Structure 1
Amino acid sequence: MRHPLRHHLRNNLLRAGSWLAGTALICAGALPAAASATPRENRVPTSAAPAPRAAADPAYQVLVFSRTAGFRHSSIDDGVTALRELGGANNFTVDATEDPTAFTTANLARYEAVVFLSTTGDVLNGTQQTAFEQYIRAGGGYVGIHAAADTEYDWPFYAGLAGALFHSHPHNQTATVEVEDRAHDATAHLGRTWQRYDEWYNYRTNPRTTAHVLASLDESSYSGGTMSGDHPIAWCKDHEGGRAFYTGGGHTDESYAEPAFRRHLLGGVRWAAGMTKADCRPETGYASLFDGGGTGGWQQAGPGSFSLADGTLTSQGGLGMLWHADRELTGDYSVKVDWRAEGDDNSGVFLGFPASSDPWSAVNNGYEIQIDATDSPDRTTGAVYGFKSADTVARDAALNPPGEWNTFELRVTGERLEIFLNGRKINDFTNTDPARSLRQGHVGLQNHGEGDTVAFRNVRVKTSGGTPAPTAGEVKGVNGKCLDVADGASADGTQVQLWTCNGSNAQKWSRPGDGTVRALGKCLDISGGGSADGTKIQLWTCNGTGAQAWQPQGDATMRNPQSGKCLDAEGGTWNDGTRVHLWTCHTGPNQKWTLP
């Protein structure tokens, strides 16, 4: 009898055990006095830096099924070859078949995952369908590739497993894939966008409410998208006891020779087979605090810093902390953070501390959720540092080893803090200290010290009322005049200036918490991402780059972290129409701004 839960737990412990058995420097939970984040990018790269290599997976078997009862893709043979080659390099064996009699209870029990490779039409009879349903409910894994969404339309269980079924497609063309999750093993190697040529399916339903979307299509980047601008193209989900991964790519023969697409498939197979963990619960309603485009809104406290490259913050030196100064969380909320340790490294995520340039404030008034391989129960990964150990059995079953990404969800309800690791609950803590409160405070990321290298991606938050409301209103500068978009125009490149405050939309600026400052649906932008004194400040389509990141300072200036320079009203006298540009920070009256 197949025992998938026990089998996968054993596999995970084999891969992670040597790391967890090690000891680390105990994180003092603490940190000291002031440095600055050091962003290293302007425009967004399309591929990620190599990750530290994780431990090898234990050997396992995968069944690839490619029967067609409708259109047959010529790429199937290339797909089988690619999966065999991936298996040979990654310790799994591929059995490929188009024989539906392979779908028996006894035979399916041999496999950790079953791949439906561009199947079409009705490919299984009722008895075979029942065997596959039992396999999934016993903890099996499913991988659907491309036309796996164009099959078994009359089998409700399969429709739920696949997540969405085929509706139509335009001609083959290049499109921009927007990578929404860069922690899952199928997409962690990708940049924030991915340019690919393929046949792009439209689906009958949107899977976002039942699956976790890993990547979606920018429908403005190609013709023929029909999903109203929300077009998932790869996703994962837990389904009736099993795991399901689907990717819409893979129509063309050439897809299976693309290194990035092959790595995408490998990640899907590994996750479906239980070799790597991820949070594949549906995720909606979160607002970004850090999406990789810049560190606007964040401030460094204490020594050390974080580098920013490939949309990833990586700790350097310490003890210190990078904290989000622009948004204080109140009431009930959920924070999600993707993180990766290189080895036996030390870091943590802080919640519930007041605004302060002194990082000891976070230690003394907030709580640290620990990242560390130490064997001290109250000071290891998933612990509320110094207060409550994680459920280490649950934690070990959910944890990816060094070199692989993990996801924390830190859910605050009243004074209760629930900690989820890769979608699995590993700790449940209630604050009873009257001097502390989880219901009000900021979010911080720790840089622990030399030799402790931990990376972070995609920090996001959801409040009990949904996404936090952006701060909005007038931005007032020298002589009480307002930051204004010339002539109220919204075209890219429109000059930003000073003008007498008049309540128009050209003077209504919002700060949604991602470091940008926005008006008329676009962002306050440094022309060309420049850094020279006098560089034009303009309105531009929001693009997540460092040219659109603005960080309010305690002296009322607005600094762009990428250039290290300030928002400045030109000249020595300031009237209606005075241009706003970039200039070396000097704290004069023409660099002081009152924000909404």
Structure 2
Amino acid sequence: MKKLLSIVLIFGLVCSCDSNKKKSVPKAEPQAQNDWIVLFDGISTNALRGYGMDEFPQEIWYVENEALIANPYTTNRDLITKERFKDFELEYEWAVDTAANSGVFFHMQEDLTMESGNGNSPNWLDNYELQILDDENFYDTLAVRSAGSLYDLIKPVNKELKPIGDFNTAKLIHNNGHVEHWLNGKKVIDFTMDSPEMKELLGQSKFKENPEFHSDKEGHIMFQHHGQRVYFKNIRVRRLEP
């Protein structure tokens, strides 16, 4: 009986040690390129700055009710990410006031001044733009320039917009030249930048005189200040593996 008790005790100690060893093993940390970077959480604007500026453009953009808002009563100043991105997934929410216009750009370079001359933002003729718009009241009603479109190039499909003032969810993915734009859970744009189809579209567009159109493969993400009130919230981005 003593021998049997000793065996049971020894077995119990071995199992206990093995269990403790298993508990002490830390979980593997996720790879850095898969981590989400919060660009705006409803409070902090530390991840963003004004185009051509070192700091956030206070009063031109402001935070209210956990939303990042473009002030229509100031001079235009776009917002860009402090970090630069190549392949990425961007998630955000947006809403517009009546007849408001804005857009999201990527791979942006700060090589032009803010003197736009016509109320538009710098580089708008140099880069792909995912359009943000009040489709009901904006004067330009072409589908290829409507909300969710790849501005002046591809009209959105399967689009369902929220009413003015309500937030739409959006997702922009760039991965090795392939681009997807999702709006309210539905994919509305899908294209490859250097494909023959895109080259043909560019050759027939207002961008045809610009041989350097979106030639950069990495850069800032930009949120456009077009002179009207637009709202952004819950903005985050993660880098994609090569």
Short-chain TM bin: 0.5 to 0.7
The one-letter code of the counterpart of 2:171 is E
Q: Residues 213-271 of structure 1, C-alpha deviation per residue, up to 9 Å, x if partnerless? A: xxxxxxxxxxxxxxxxxxxxxxxxxxxxxxxxxxxxxxxxxxxxxxxxxxxxxxxxxxx
The one-letter code of the counterpart of 2:241 is G
3-state SS of 1:320 partner: coil
3-state SS of 1:389 partner: coil
- Report the equivalent of 2:50: 300
The one-letter code of the counterpart of 2:48 is W
Mapped partners of 2:48, 2:113: distance in 1: 14
Q: Is the contact made by 1:292 and 1:458 (CA closer than 8 Å) also made in structure 2?
A: yes
Q: Is the contact made by 1:415 and 1:438 (CA closer than 8 Å) also made in structure 2?
A: no
Q: Is the contact made by 1:338 and 1:406 (CA closer than 8 Å) also made in structure 2?
A: yes
Corresponding position: 1:370 with 2:127: no
The one-letter code of the counterpart of 1:422 is N
- Report the equivalent of 1:407: 169
- Report the equivalent of 1:422: 184
Structure-to-structure mapping, 1:196-211, within 5 angstroms? none
- Cα shift at 1:388: 1.7
Structure-to-structure mapping, 1:583-594, within 5 angstroms? none
- Report the equivalent of 1:336: 91
Mapped partners of 1:437, 1:291: distance in 2: 31
- Cα shift at 1:301: 3.3
Q: Residues 402-461 of structure 1, C-alpha deviation per residue, up to 9 Å, x if partnerless? A: 121111101112222110001110011332377224741111111211xx2211112111
Q: Is the contact made by 2:148 and 2:188 (CA closer than 8 Å) also made in structure 1?
A: yes
Mapped partners of 2:219, 2:107: distance in 1: 4
| Structure with a larger share of its residues in helix | 1
Decide which of 77, 94, 99 is 1:320's aligned counterpart. Answer: 77
Compared CA separation, residues 417 and 437, structure 1 to 2 (3 A)? farther
Q: Is the contact made by 1:298 and 1:322 (CA closer than 8 Å) also made in structure 2?
A: yes
3-state SS of 1:378 partner: helix
Q: Which runs of 5+ in 1 are unaligned?
A: 1-283, 467-596
Compared CA separation, residues 446 and 429, structure 1 to 2 (3 A)? same
Structure-to-structure mapping, 1:153-232, within 5 angstroms? none
Q: Is the contact made by 1:311 and 1:457 (CA closer than 8 Å) also made in structure 2?
A: yes
Corresponding position: 1:462 with 2:215: no
Q: Residues 148-171 of structure 1, C-alpha deviation per residue, up to 9 Å, x if partnerless? A: xxxxxxxxxxxxxxxxxxxxxxxx
Decide which of 174, 187, 193 is 1:431's aligned counterpart. Answer: 193
Compared CA separation, residues 425 and 405, structure 1 to 2 (3 A)? same
Q: Which runs of 5+ in 2 are unaligned?
A: 1-33, 115-120, 200-210
3-state SS of 2:123 partner: helix
Q: Residues 90-119 of structure 1, C-alpha deviation per residue, up to 9 Å, x if partnerless? A: xxxxxxxxxxxxxxxxxxxxxxxxxxxxxx
Q: Is the contact made by 2:105 and 2:221 (CA closer than 8 Å) also made in structure 1?
A: yes
- Cα shift at 1:381: 0.4
Structure-to-structure mapping, 1:78-117, within 5 angstroms? none
- Report the equivalent of 1:287: 37
Mapped partners of 1:385, 1:310: distance in 2: 29
- Cα shift at 1:364: 3.6
Mapped partners of 1:412, 1:403: distance in 2: 28
Decide which of 149, 165, 169 is 1:383's aligned counterpart. Answer: 149
- Report the equivalent of 1:358: 113
Mapped partners of 1:297, 1:428: distance in 2: 28
Q: Residues 100-145 of structure 1, C-alpha deviation per residue, up to 9 Å, x if partnerless? A: xxxxxxxxxxxxxxxxxxxxxxxxxxxxxxxxxxxxxxxxxxxxxx
- Identity, % of aligned pairs? 28
TM-score (norm 2): 0.64
The one-letter code of the counterpart of 2:66 is G
Q: Is the contact made by 1:339 and 1:407 (CA closer than 8 Å) also made in structure 2?
A: yes
Decide which of 432, 442, 455 is 2:220's aligned counterpart. Answer: 442
Mapped partners of 1:305, 1:293: distance in 2: 16
Q: Is the contact made by 1:349 and 1:369 (CA closer than 8 Å) also made in structure 2?
A: yes
Mapped partners of 1:413, 1:465: distance in 2: 9
Q: Highest CA radius of gyration, 1 or 2? A: 1
Mapped partners of 1:319, 1:379: distance in 2: 21
Superposed CA RMSD in Å reads 2.6
The one-letter code of the counterpart of 2:192 is T
The one-letter code of the counterpart of 1:441 is G
3-state SS of 2:124 partner: helix
Mapped partners of 1:329, 1:377: distance in 2: 29
Q: Is the contact made by 2:60 and 2:76 (CA closer than 8 Å) also made in structure 1?
A: no
Mapped partners of 2:41, 2:152: distance in 1: 30
Mapped partners of 2:132, 2:109: distance in 1: 22
- Report the equivalent of 2:23: none
Q: Residues 308-336 of structure 1, C-alpha deviation per residue, up to 9 Å, x if partnerless? A: 12321111134431111x20002x21111
TM-score (norm 1): 0.27
The one-letter code of the counterpart of 1:322 is L
Paired positions, count: 175
Compared CA separation, residues 409 and 437, structure 1 to 2 (3 A)? farther
Structure-to-structure mapping, 1:390-401, within 5 angstroms? 390-391=156-157, 394-395=158-159, 398-401=160-163
- Cα shift at 1:285: 4.2
Structure-to-structure mapping, 1:509-528, within 5 angstroms? none
Compared CA separation, residues 418 and 320, structure 1 to 2 (3 A)? same
Mapped partners of 1:307, 1:291: distance in 2: 13
Q: Considering Cα pairs closer than 8 Å and 6+ residues apart, tell me whether 1 or 2 has the greater RCO.
A: 2
Structure-to-structure mapping, 1:139-158, within 5 angstroms? none
3-state SS of 2:181 partner: strand
Q: Is the contact made by 1:301 and 1:357 (CA closer than 8 Å) also made in structure 2?
A: no
Q: Residues 174-198 of structure 1, C-alpha deviation per residue, up to 9 Å, x if partnerless? A: xxxxxxxxxxxxxxxxxxxxxxxxx
Q: Is the contact made by 2:181 and 2:189 (CA closer than 8 Å) also made in structure 1?
A: yes
3-state SS of 2:103 partner: strand
Mapped partners of 2:48, 2:111: distance in 1: 12
The one-letter code of the counterpart of 1:335 is L
